[in-house]
Amino acid sequence: MKPLHNRISQEELKGLLFKETEFRKTISFYKYFNISNPDEFRDELYRNLSELKVFGRIYLANEGINAQISVPETNFEAFQSYLYSISDLNQLRLNVAIDDDGKSFWVLKIKVRSKIVADGITDPSFSMNQTGKYVQVDTFNEMTKDPDTVIVDMRNHYEYEVGHFKNAIEIPSDTFREQLPMAVQMLQDKKDKNIIMYCTGGIRCEKASAYMLHHGFDHVYHVEGGIIHYANTAKEQQLENKFIGKNFVFDERLGERISDDVIAVCHQCGDPCDDHTNCKNEACHLLFIQCKKCDKKHHGCCSEACSIVLDLPEDLQKEYRKGIDKGQMIFNKSKENRLRPRLNEG
């Protein structure tokens, strides 16, 4: 029987990916539906998707599926046919990446979790049976002409920072689980207004819309398919695109260009820039925005302290990494005004 997990090192797999000559499509999809036995479903998916050379990250839970994957172009139709052969996923919308180099993933990982998106909801009376109304591009564009329409970004602060819809409200947080109660609190005085929620591909804003309805909001909408579907549809139908900047994505690309606007700045020098990177000091690995000038100056690190660590011999770097709790290593301008030095002095 074929193993149901990867047995090759990450570096080898990444090397094999970059040797591929066939282009891959990067695709995301999700659906809230009941999966009675996620472990069994996981093994079935792994066997079939491995045969089609699908790479990516898929989360399963009793509440549904959440996937970001890449598939060779010649296998796309077979992949789609297999997916649609699963009754609950028949005709599921597949969000195809906008700005794609085909090198987003190099291994297939399918994990069973308690939720397909971590929401922190413990209220047993909460249900996904009632969600907000979907809005398409033309409806969204028309509704947002009304100054009383409230547009709410249900992504993390670092996603909002590099790109968002015009006039969208930011719920300044590092995690979705923090955002849900914050959104309810921030929008209490807007219960009589139309509230449109959005996120990257639709999974978070769909749950957020249900959460808002659960807390007494009546006029709740969410962008179907999120930013990805909106941008693709606007381009295909030659409609006005009201999203400015980059759409942050959770794969090797770390972003896809939606408009030419650069609305963020380098976290080190303050020059216009919207390129996310991770600090090259593995003991830090901070996610932050860095321009090419600062990348060269700091050797891809977030601080002088991390540059010093990077210059150490590899065995000393490994020793330094031991026992370090990095926590959630994301630069947050709302919590700190500079990048933290990560090297202990003395």
Query: Which residue shows structure tokens 């020059």?
Result: 271
Q: How many DSSP H helices and E strands does the chain contain?
A: 11, 15
Angstrom CA distances, 72 to 51, 80, 200, 315, stand at 11, 12, 23, 38
Residue 336 CA to residue 307 CA, distance in Å, equals 20
Q: Which of 138, 157, 329 is nearest to 248 (CA)?
A: 157
Strands (E), the chain: 24-32, 55-61, 64-72, 95-96, 108-112, 133-135, 150-153, 163-165, 169-170, 195-198, 220-223, 243-247, 256-257, 276-278, 287-289
**Any residues with CB less than 8 A from the CB of 39 and at least 6 apart, and which?**
112
Catalytic residues: 199
